[in-house]
Amino acid sequence: MRGVARIRSGRPILPSAILSASASLIAAVMALLSLYILLRGHNEPGGGFIGGLVGAGALVVLGFASGAERARRALRFHPIAIAGAGLVMALISGLPALLVGQPFLTHLWGEIPFEAGALKVGTTYLFDLGVYLVVLGSVAAFHLMFVED
């Protein structure tokens, strides 16, 4: 397999023209897909874990094609910080229950009325988002570490 280049930060690992050209597009689509998977999880197959993995996959594609530096810029925050934020979010999602006298992590639901019907929102989405971010951040942290020198 030609192309086992010496790794240097910022340079692509696999100098494939097709990948470099299409990486940004692929990554964007994957990121969008990951959000979709996250949001549909409550009623259809999907959820936070899978969404996070797919999101991390987007980052991996970007990292392979354009280099770790580009992937980090896309994340904008430090991956460990993202994981930590996810953990905090998951914790916070359980707190409103305490305010109404329920045990910790009892999820509360409300409705936002729209023209087409009412949208049900609940603290589960916050929790799932937290899970998503933890998985995304952790896998991204691992991968970017290994991709750089």
Partner 1 sequence: MTQTLDTSSPGAGGVSHATHGWFDAAYLVALVPLAVLGAILSLGPTVLGADSAAEWSMPWVPSLGIALSFRIDGFSFLFGTLIAGIGSLVAIYAAAYMKGDAHRGRFLLLIVLFMGAMLGAIFAADVILLFVFWELTSLLSFLLIGHKASDPAARRAAVQGLMVTVGGGLALMAGLLLMASIAGTTSLPGIIAAGPAIIASPLFVPALLLMLLGAFTKSAQVPFHFWLPGAMSAPTPASAFLHSATMVKLGVYLLIRFDPAFGDEAIWQTLLIGFGGATMLVAAVQALRVEAFKAVLAQTTIAALGTLTLLVGLTGPVAAVATVGFLLSHALYKAALFFAAGNAIHATGVDRLSQMGGLARSLPFTAGAAVIACLSMAGLPPFIGFIAKELLFEAKLDTGTTALIVLAVIVNAVLVAVAAVVALRPFFFGEQRPAQLKHGETVGLAAPPILLACIGAMLGLLPGLASNAFLTDAVSAAAGETIIVDLKLWHGLTPYLGLSVLAVTFGALIAWRWRSLNAALASRRMPTAIHAERLSDRAAAGVLNGGRALTARLQNGSLRKYAWVPLLAFALVIALALVSGGMALPPFDLTERPYLILIVAVLVAGSFVAATARSFLAVLIAIGLVGYALGVLFLKKGAPDLAFTQFAVETVFVVVAAAVLVRMPLQVLEPRVQGERRADAALALSIGVLGTLVALAMMGEPFDPRISDYFREVSLPEAFGRNVVNVVIVDFRALDTLGEIAVVALAALAAFGVMRGLRARRTIEPAAAQKPTAEEAGQ
Rounded to 5 degrees, φ, ψ at 118 are: -95, 140
Backbone angle region of 95, left / alpha / beta, with phi > 0 → left and psi within -120 to 50 → alpha: alpha
Residue closer to partner 1 by CB (options 74, 105) is 105
Footprint on residues 62-91 left by partner 1 (CB under 8 A):
63-64, 69, 78-80, 83-84, 86-87, 90-91
Footprint on residues 104-133 left by partner 1 (CB under 8 A):
104-105, 107, 109, 120, 122, 124, 127-128, 130-131
How far, in whole angstroms, is CA 70 from its chain's centroid?
16
Nearest to 59 by CA among 148, 141, 134: 141
Q: How far is the CB of 17 from partner 1 (least distance, A)?
A: 19
Distance CA 61, CA 113 (A): 39
Q: How far is the CB of 104 from partner 1 (least distance, A)?
A: 8
User: Does 49 help bind partner 1 (rule: CB under 8 A)?
Assistant: yes
Q: How far is the CB of 117 from partner 1 (least distance, A)?
A: 14
Distance CA 144, CA 82 (A): 14
User: Does 138 help bind partner 1 (rule: CB under 8 A)?
Assistant: yes
Q: Which residues of 90-106 are buried (b: 16+ CB within 10 A; e: fewer)?
A: beebbebbeeeeeeebe
User: Does 12 help bind partner 1 (rule: CB under 8 A)?
Assistant: no
Distance CA 106, CA 51 (A): 23
Binding footprint of partner 1 on the chain (CB under 8 A): 1, 4, 6-10, 13, 41-50, 53-54, 56-57, 60, 63-64, 69, 78-80, 83-84, 86-87, 90-91, 94, 104-105, 107, 109, 120, 122, 124, 127-128, 130-131, 134-135, 137-139, 141-143, 145-149
